[in-house]
Amino acid sequence: MITLALSKGRIFDETLPLLKGAGIVPRGDPESSRKLILRTNRRDVRVVIVRATDVPTYVQYGAAELGVAGKDVLDEHGGQGLYQPLDLGIARCRMMVAVPVGFNYREAVRQGARLKVATKYVQTAREHFAAKGVHVDLIKLYGSMELAPLTGLADAIVDLVSTGNTLRANNLKAVEEIAPVSARLIVNQAALKVKRVAIQPVLDSFAAAVR
Ligand code: PRT
Ligand code: MG
């Protein structure tokens, strides 16, 4: 049995056509059903539905051989025990620094100001600002980062931006791109050795479906 870990929402929705291209069709829809394990048209493949941030953990420990996770999530996880053989090119967005519309970020950085930055992506933010030599106090949040600068909790946020509508609706502007983000197919390293005969064809058909 091969277990594929997916999160519901955009990762599930955008992986579905690739799975179909790979000849794998999940039975059931995680949006409408409460089932956490979905069978597929293939008796040897099943899908488990977990939180987006938990996908690398399931694959790292081999509870799932395969998974689909955003680069944002993988960078925070660290990627231990995982291969990342394929950029699926789905769930695309950008990791950005954003500030209130009236805030002069460049000038604050130039003056060497110490900035309070709120984010869910503490590792990513720490590396980014360290590489730029910008002094920051990082404040870990689990959601609604946009609220932090509006309430005085932080000067800036690090968050994912897709259309930019969320920033605009909250009077914020993106001032710096940290990295482009897309979802990756991930594989448990040990499983790829032990179950290569079963896993490699699935990887190959994913690669073909991406092309
Ligand atoms: O939402 P939930 O708390 O359940 O979990 P999650 O946010 O971890 O999962 P989900 O399904 O929202 O995101 C899964 C993956 O999709 C992320 O790990 C990213 O790799 C990818 N992705 C692509 C995005 C976006 N685009 C995106 N726009 N993830 C989140 N967003 C959010 C962003 O954080 C911000 O709040 O959408 C808002 C901005 O969108 P725009 O279009 O207004 O700019
Ligand atoms: Mg979300």
Rounded average pLDDT over 187-204: 96
Nearest protein CA to atom 5 of ligand 1, as residue: 52
Residue 170 has pLDDT above 90, yes or no: yes
Nearest protein CA to atom 29 of ligand 1, as residue: 160
Q: Which ligand is nearest to the CA of 70?
A: 1
Rounded average pLDDT over 44-55: 98
pLDDT of residue 126: 98
In what side-by-side order are the strands of the sheet with 136-140?
A: 136-140, 115-119, 156-161, 93-100, 172-181
Instruction: Write out pLDDT tens, residues 66-95.
Output: 999 999 999 999 999 999 999 999 999 999
Enumerate the β-bridge partners of residue 62: none
pLDDT of residue 135: 96
Rounded Cα gap, residues 204 and 111, in angstroms: 51
How far is C-alpha 41 from the chain's CA centre?
27
Residue-range domain boundaries for the chain: 2-91+182-210, 93-180
Instruction: Write out pLDDT tens, residues 21-36.
Output: 999 999 999 999 899 9
**Is 2-91+182-210 a CATH 3.30.420.10 domain?**
no
CATH dotted code for 93-180:
3.40.190.10
Q: What angle do CA 170, 107, 178 make, to 5 degrees?
A: 60
Nearest protein CA to atom 28 of ligand 1, as residue: 162
Instruction: Write out pLDDT tens, residues 149-162.
Output: 999 999 999 999 99
pLDDT of residue 211: 87
